[in-house]
Amino acid sequence: MRKSRILAIGAVGIAAALALSACSGSGAGTTSGGSSTIGKVDGKGKTITVWAMTGDLSPKTLDAINAEFTKETGAKVKVQTQQWTNIATKITTALATSTPPDVLDLGNTQVATFASSGGLADLTKYKADLQQGQTWLGGLADPGTVDGRLYGVPSFGAARAVVYNKTIWADAGITTAPTTYGELTSDLDKIKAKNTASNFSSFYLPGQYWYAGMQWVWDAGGQIATQSGKTWKAGFSSSEAQKGLSDWKTFQNAYSTVASRTLNTDKPDQDAVFAAGQAATILANNWEISAIEKDNAKLTDDQLGSFPMPGESGKNQPALLAGSDWGIAQKSKNQDLAAAWVKIAASPSIQKKYVFGNDKWIPNSVEASKAAVSGGTLPENGTAFFTAAQNSKATPASGNWASLEDPGMLQFFQTVSSGSKSVSDAANAWDSTVDSTLNQ
């Protein structure tokens, strides 16, 4: 399931990075040659190894990439499907060997860890060639770019949008989805007045749900951290970020249960809470719709609606994109062939026909995501997620970021939502930790 994927991505620790750094030598690798285009590569008699994560691209999509790759280069591909359990340790070990996999399927927030440790090849010179005229989604491209250098090529994305129970909303007199923040809060006030049970949320948002909370911060103009040269500066103490945090707390406290202020999205599972009728609305990834319908067979596509989360800014809130990037091992002996494979995987034709057309993932570019929305082939509940992805953000592209995610970010947003500290005090304390960690 995709939830295990997110947990695995967040579990990449600083210890893994240090272990790889100790084994791999200094600096990140570079692909061979001086050309800025990948060009035609003669791979006859050669085979590259691709690590693909279970639940990501389908066998049909991988087969299509491999067929085109063999046609263009003459080389063959050995795909090895990996499980998410302990994947960070497995990648660390593999990249430190003299015969690593040539291409790796990496969670977008994993890239910086392995790039900073010297395990991934620097693909910067190929960036324009790999983009192929497209504008990559920021939530995939930004975490794949470390110190201004490209190490991860966007593969696909998944975004969060609002999912709501149409029946509960209709019982409160609401039959159309809101398009502004004011309309949303007005609608939620009506739902709250209609449903007064203490365990009911008009909008269920657990206090530790930092993926959601960051949308308020970004919408207000705040940042997790910004980089100047080699130095990171945490941003939660800024006036913009504190406004976003205050807005998040106000919204969470008003529309989610009191008990939820110290909870995360897994215990209890927010999809199960929604499916049980204890919530009218949640902020969810697109794959959670099928989980909800599995938990409650009476909730079908007709009973569920979705829309991008509107912000107080007047625009949709920026979304933290989940998804994958392709990385090439620094020690790969087939870097040119690996780059040719990645270029095909990232190509507009593969993205349109297979990544979106077959696998139903959000493709890697703004252009492809807009085309998916306008093409009329998305299900009614799919459009909101593809629209949300077009305004996406990312976590800091620092090799030390992963050690801040869990439990740090969860605890920080819980502190804000629960009110155990003032927004100002919580932000100042957390900024100190962010600064010291990112600048180690």
* Number of domains making up the chain: 2
What pLDDT was estimated at residue 12?
42
Buried (b) or exposed (e) across 15-46, using 16+ Cβ within 10 A?
ebbebbbeebeeebbebeeeeeebeebebeee
| Residue 33 confidence (pLDDT) | 52
Q: Is the pLDDT of residue 185 over 60?
A: yes
Distant-in-sequence, close-in-space partners of 226: CB < 8 Å, separation ≥ 6? 232, 233, 235
The per-residue pLDDT for range 396-433, each reduced to its tens digit, is: 999 999 899 999 999 999 999 999 999 999 999 999 99
Residue 24 has pLDDT above 70, yes or no: no
The pLDDT tens digits for 329-381 are 999 999 999 999 999 999 999 999 999 999 999 999 999 999 999 988 888 88
pLDDT for the residue 370: 93
Same domain, residue pair 293 and 366: no
* Residues 240 and 166 both lie in one domain: yes
pLDDT in tens, 260-279: 999 999 999 999 999 999 99
Residue 157, Ramachandran bin (φ over 0: left; ψ between -120 and 50: alpha; else beta): beta
Give the pLDDT confidence score for residue 377 in this predicted structure. Answer: 86
Residue 308 belongs to domain spanning: 160-320+400-438
Residues 186 and 231 in one domain: yes
pLDDT of 46 > 90? The answer is yes
Cα–Cα distance measured from residue 161 to residue 284, given in angstroms and rounded to the nearest whole number: 6
pLDDT at residue number 158: 93
Q: What band does 35 get if pLDDT is binned at 50, 70 and 90?
A: confident
pLDDT, position 380: 85
Are 97 and 10 in a shared domain? yes
Q: Find the mean pLDDT for residues 55-68.
A: 98
Residues 311, 364 within the same domain: no
Tens-place pLDDT, residues 187-215:
999 999 999 999 999 999 999 999 999 99
Could you tell me if 43 and 59 lie in one domain?
yes
Contacts with 416 (C-beta within 8 Å, 6 or more apart), sequence order? 207, 213, 245, 248, 249, 423, 426
Burial class (CB in 10 A: 0-12, 13-18, 19+), 175: exposed
